[in-house]
Amino acid sequence: MLEVSNLVKSFGKFMVINGAEFTIQENEIVGLLGPNGAGKTTLVNLISGHLFPDSGAIMLSGRNITKAPPYQRIKLGIARNFQITQLFEELIVLDNVRNCLLSLQNKLNRFFKPASAYKEATEEALEILDTFNLGRFAGELAANLSEGDKKILDTAMAFALRSKFLLLDEPTSGVATADKFKVMDTIIQAIKDRGTATMIIEHDMDIVSDYCQKVMVLSEGRILAQGEPQAVMENQLVQETLFGVSDE
Amino acid sequence: MKRYLFNTRAYAYVAVFVALLFLPRFLGAYHLMMFESGLAFAIMAMAHNLLLRYGGLLSFGHGAYFACGAYGVGLLARYYPDHFSFELAILCALALSLAISVLFGFLVVRHTRIFFSILTLALSMLIFAILVKAYNFTGGSDGIRVEIPTFFGYEFDMRRIQFLVGPYYYILLGVFTAATLTLLAIVNSPFGKALQATRDNELRAEMIGAQVKKTRWYAFVISGLFAGLAGAVWSFVNGHITPEISDWVFSGEIVYMVLLGGFMVFEGPIVGALVFTYLKLYAISSTEYWMLIIGSTLVILVLLLPGGITGGFRSLFLRLKR
């Protein structure tokens, strides 16, 4: 459903993405691994429309979205979270999620009637908050949440956009280690219930091998290897890039 | 909790509205007219605060849109005195401020923070220059006289002062109430929430599908329209308009009103505008160094009461409740 072909993006002379190519099927949950500076976040930015590539193409369900602005991609079904949380901090938690839903229904330009009177969006927002265990914070300012909860809210907002393809950039960074798997369980369960194709960037190998059906390794702007988690991890080239070890 | 808050707000609104209905019985003609200017400025300050509080954009040139409204009325009075009715004058005012804020807004929303402020300031001075230099058309620095209008076909056969302390007070109160409720509805609407989203996080707003610049542009136009409305209703109170209202000094006073009343609370600018009107009046009548009083008040305000008058009350209320 998502096809990326021969993608190139450079900042000045520095080629960050250098001919990346891959496909993601429907219902698939893919892990993206790679050393620091491999271009993972840039790749997310290119797919979500925050940046535009120098060349190459991005297709979503057969439609070329390489040059589509972010708001069009969202309507077409691409959503993302942020590695460094990006919330509407001076709005209440409910409004953070409800804004996503109202945006989806093309209602962000409605005047006069209060947002709380949009019953459908409000109820769905509360449901999503419950799914992510944030229900009790619905009336709090987003700024008052703990770092871990902010991170979860960030993911909940991406999830609320009801995308066909979801980009999760380190959804558990900043979440307490003890809670990591609990949070991932919640997220993955929600994704599976909807059948959303998902790409997860993660540093934690255990998380990747537990939750992803497929793994891709990005290195120096290219896809170095892809396949089943176990097979990819055993790939010698991958081990060298990711862990810096090699058999003598 | 929220329902309870909403109700207290609604009750307070009704109470204040009723009190305002009976105000002419208690205030003398002079003070009532001052209060009327204050109400007009209050609409202006709320319009300004739509951008400042809810859009995170500090306009330093809102006098321009106020002037557009006032000159919409003034030009109608000057060129079509036979058709000088209140409703038509308001329409002209809104049309002129709409046209200018659509155009200027399109340019300024490309920037935020200080760049936005400076751009709005520069563009407002452009309006000032036009109003002063196009002497033949606008009357230049002499300005334009604004007579008593007809009101939906009804002619007021009375002296100006009688008109102002009588029927006009209720017309103005009606406009003020409508403007306040409309703006309150707008800030709580999905659009208002989207605007606040662009204020809090431009990047995220874009990534949930909001069109940031468009949202800001709309907000700018709404703000410009209400500023124009304020200018229009004010011009009748003042009876005379001059280009000074598009000058940056007046734009600065608008910012001052908003800060004085407290920009974090929706009703803050109303309080600020009314207090400022009287503060300036008493400062001017008591000393020729009145600007010193205004200036030192601002310094005290920023240092001791950054949330303005209403912000101060709110934190006091919250502390007492605890």
Pairing between β-strand A197-201 and β-strand A214-219 as defined by DSSP bridges: unpaired
Distance from CA of B218 to the nearest CA of A (A): 9
Domain count for chain A, please give it: 1
**Nearest beta carbon to residue A112 from set B189, B197, B211:** B189
Determine the Cα angle at B68 with ends B67 and B72, to 5°. 115
Contact A82, B204 (CB under 8 A): yes
Query: Could you tell me the residue range of the domain that residue A196 belongs to?
Result: 2-243
**Averaged pLDDT of chain A:** 82
In a 3-state reduction of DSSP, which class is residue A69?
coil
**CB-CB: which of A75, A79, A108 is closest to B194?**
A108
Residue B1: the pLDDT is: 43
Q: Is residue A43 part of a domain?
A: yes
- Contact (Cβ atoms closer than 8 angstroms) between residue A115 and residue B190: yes
Q: Write the ipTM.
A: 0.79
Across the interface, whether the CB atoms of B208 and A99 are under 8 A apart is answered yes
Q: In the predicted model, what is the mean pLDDT of residues A127-156?
A: 85
Q: Where are the beta strands (DSSP E) in chain B?
A: 144-145, 240-241
Mean pLDDT along residues A186-203: 83
What is the domain partition of chain B in residue ranges? 33-253
Instruction: Single out the residue of B94, B128, B92, B104 nearest to residue B226, CA to CA.
Output: B94
CA-nearest residue to B186 within chain A is: A112
Whether residue B207 and residue A116 make contact (CB cut-off 8 A), yes or no, is no
B202 close to A (CB below 8 A)? no
Q: How does residue A248 score in pLDDT terms, banded at 50, 70 and 90?
A: very low
CA distance A100 to B123: 35
Within an 8 Å CB–CB cutoff, is residue B155 touching chain A? no
Report the candidate in A7, A10, A188, A158 with the shortest Cα–Cα distance to residue A70: A158
Helix (H, G, I), strand (E, B) or coil at B28: coil
Q: Which of A153, A171, A22, A99 is nearest to B199 (CA)?
A: A99
CATH number of the domain bearing residue A194: 3.40.50.300
pLDDT, one tens digit for every residue, chain B (322 residues): 455 555 788 888 888 898 888 888 888 888 888 999 999 999 999 999 999 999 999 999 999 999 999 999 999 988 888 888 899 999 999 999 999 999 999 999 988 889 999 999 999 999 999 988 888 888 878 888 888 888 887 888 888 888 888 889 999 999 999 999 999 999 999 999 999 999 999 988 988 888 899 999 999 999 999 999 999 999 999 988 999 898 888 998 999 999 988 888 899 999 999 999 988 888 888 877 888 888 888 888 888 888 888 888 888 888 887 7
CB contact under 8 A, B196 and A104: no
Q: Does A13 touch chain B (CB under 8 A)?
A: no
A218: phi then psi, degrees, rounded to nearest 5: -105, 130
- Are the C-beta atoms of A187 and A211 separated by less than 8 Å? no
Asked if residue A248 belongs to a domain, the reply is no
> Which of helix, strand or coil describes residue A34?
coil
Q: Does residue A32 lie within any of the structural domains?
A: yes
Whether A52 and chain B come into contact, CB under 8 Å, resolves to: no
Check: pTM over 0.80? Answer yes or no: yes
Picking from A169-178, A229-238, B286-295, which range would have the lowest pLDDT averaged per residue? A229-238
